[in-house]
Amino acid sequence: MLNKIYDFICITIIVKKSLKLNIISYSQKLGFDKIGFASVEPFVEEKEVFRKWVDEGRHGSMKYLERNLEERFDPSKILEGCKTAIVLAVNYFNPDKNHIAKINSGKIARYAWGKDYHKIIKLKLISLAEKISEIFPDSKNMTFVDSGTLPEKLLAVRAGVGWQGKNSLILTKEFGSYVFLGIILTTNEFEPDEPHKDFCGDCTKCLDDCPTSAIIKPGLVDATRCISYWTIETKSYIEIPLDIVNNSRSRVFGCDICQEVCPWNRFAKPTEETEFQVKDNRTELSKEFIQNLTNEEFKIMFKDRSLKRIKLKGMKRNVCMIKE
Ligand code: B12
Ligand code: SF4
Ligand code: SF4
């Protein structure tokens, strides 16, 4: 009798492992570069760090971050019966020799060189979620990318996808920090992976080199001091503060400085995702080009790119960031 129970347990473990491998291999077929599985216990301490960050107003005008605090740090409150968070990462790195923009030109952050990642990652996540439903017909699955709903970076660390660097971003040994994250919450239980170890060591390069001192302590960014926030998240009629403009290093849309200085990004490899290849060779935009751009041209040119988010008005406002 005991032997039979033992055999049953062994078979169950083997079947579970092989189904997990099945999901991993399907994720690779879809073009995900990394995958990890995390349990979904609430993040208790991190919730308090986040609450304080919001209370101090460091989220600026991103009001969506004030909502649903309890759900955000407890995935089972978002998906009833949730057992696992599957964390996916896609490398989006494109090499570029000119980190410094040409005179009278503004740099676009790397994440916006190809097509808008939100749609591309979402479609991949949906395909993977469908595969999970096929294998586990009783499971419920939800997909997330860059949503206000979940702490994607904390889940990525717990799932062993990467560690949270002092610049607050997820770093991977294979691709550095130029990876997008996507999450699937599922009611199916998968064996969790080991959380990722921290490999920042004594390095403080990102803290030292952030031009606006936005990294207020290791792992925590004050959005209201961050160039990325000012050039992407704020309404076009809001003037960018002078001390941010004066230290802009000609970043006209987003900012990559705390990633460009990171030693781990020496290991970044070009992305294999065709949708993230550089479009029209536009990694920077000249002041003159932006000033002469019409609404129609802007709409056509940036139709499927992240830049369209700020509209032409936002782009023209951001011209103040371009140094002569
Ligand atoms: C709001 C937001 C922003 C804001 C605020 C950024 C920030 N760092 O908080 C702004 C607009 C500034 C921004 C900018 C960028 N963003 Co953004 N952003 C988000 C979003 C939606 C939420 C992040 C958040 O919750 N911030 C609030 C702070 C308080 O939370 P936190 O950073 O996780 O901080 C926790 C840790 O500090 C931890 N903690 C506590 N103590 C300690 C101690 C140590 C040592 C450590 C390491 C951690 C730690 O607890 C905190 C609270 O939970 C996420 C998607 C998501 N849902 O997670 C994308 C996301 C983080 N963004 C992303 C990207 C690509 C960017 C940019 C690179 C874009 C660009 N090139 O301009 C920049 C990078 C700027 C930077 N250095 O962070 C990617 C990052 C991918 C990656 N490899 O990590 C994400 C994950 C979107 C995605 N799905 O891919 N972003
Ligand atoms: S994105 Fe730029 S401004 Fe924001 S923390 Fe990094 S280096 Fe500083
Ligand atoms: S620059 Fe140094 S401290 Fe900052 S994220 Fe990279 S390794 Fe960590």
Residues 311 and 247 in one domain: yes
Report the separation in Å between the CA atom of 8 and the middle of ligand 2, taken as the mean of its atom positions: 53
How does pLDDT run across 89-124, given as a tens digit for each residue? Answer: 999 999 875 666 778 999 999 999 999 999 999 999
Domain boundary among 132, 152, 186: 186
pLDDT of residue 1: 66
How does pLDDT run across 188-236, given as a tens digit for each residue? Answer: 999 999 999 999 999 999 999 999 999 999 999 999 999 999 999 999 9
Report the separation in Å between the CA atom of 261 and the middle of ligand 3, taken as the mean of its atom positions: 8
CA 56/CA 224 separation, integer angstroms: 11
The pairing of strands 251-253 and 105-108 is parallel
CA 36/CA 85 separation, integer angstroms: 8
The reply to whether 227 falls in a domain is yes
Asked if residue 79 has its Cβ within 6 Å of ligand 2, the reply is no
Asked if residue 215 has its Cβ within 6 Å of ligand 2, the reply is yes
pLDDT of residue 279: 74
CB 245 within 8 A of CB 238: no
Burial environment of residue 185 by CB neighbours within 10 A (0 to 12, 13 to 18, 19 or more): buried
Asked if residue 262 has its Cβ within 6 Å of ligand 2, the reply is no
The reply to whether 182 falls in a domain is yes
Asked if residue 312 has its Cβ within 6 Å of ligand 1, the reply is no
CA 240/CA 123 separation, integer angstroms: 35
Pocket perturbation via mutation, ligand 3, pick of 264, 266, 267 by most ligand atoms within 8 A of CB: 264
pLDDT of residue 134: 95
Which residues face 287 on adjacent strands? none
CA 257/CA 60 separation, integer angstroms: 21
Q: Token match 């936002």: residue?
A: 314
Written as six digits, the tokens of 50 are: 């986040």
The reply to whether 74 falls in a domain is yes
How does pLDDT run across 55-71, given as a tens digit for each residue? Answer: 999 999 999 999 999 99
Domain boundary among 156, 186, 216: 186
Name which residue leads in pLDDT, 323 or 254. 254
Report the separation in Å between the CA atom of 76 and the middle of ligand 2, taken as the mean of its atom positions: 32
Which residue type occupies 278?
V
Asked if residue 270 has its Cβ within 6 Å of ligand 3, the reply is no
The pairing of strands 84-91 and 34-39 is antiparallel
The total number of structural domains that make up the chain: 2
Q: Which of 232, 275, 286, 235 has its CA nearest to residue 255?
A: 232
Domain that holds residue 10: 2-97+114-186
Q: Of the bound ligands, which one is closest to the alpha carbon of residue 111?
A: 1
Residues 182 and 214 in one domain: no
Which residue type occupies 254?
G
Catalytic residues: 146
Residues 182 and 213 in one domain: no
The reply to whether 200 falls in a domain is no
Q: Which atom of ligand 2 is nearest to the CA of 229?
A: 4
CA 203/CA 275 separation, integer angstroms: 33
Q: Give the rounded percent of residues in the chain with a pLDDT score beyond 90.
A: 88
Asked if residue 321 has its Cβ within 6 Å of ligand 2, the reply is no
Report the separation in Å between the CA atom of 127 and the middle of ligand 2, taken as the mean of its atom positions: 33
pTM above 0.85, yes or no: yes
How does pLDDT run across 154-197, given as a tens digit for each residue? Answer: 999 999 999 999 999 999 999 999 999 999 999 999 999 999 99
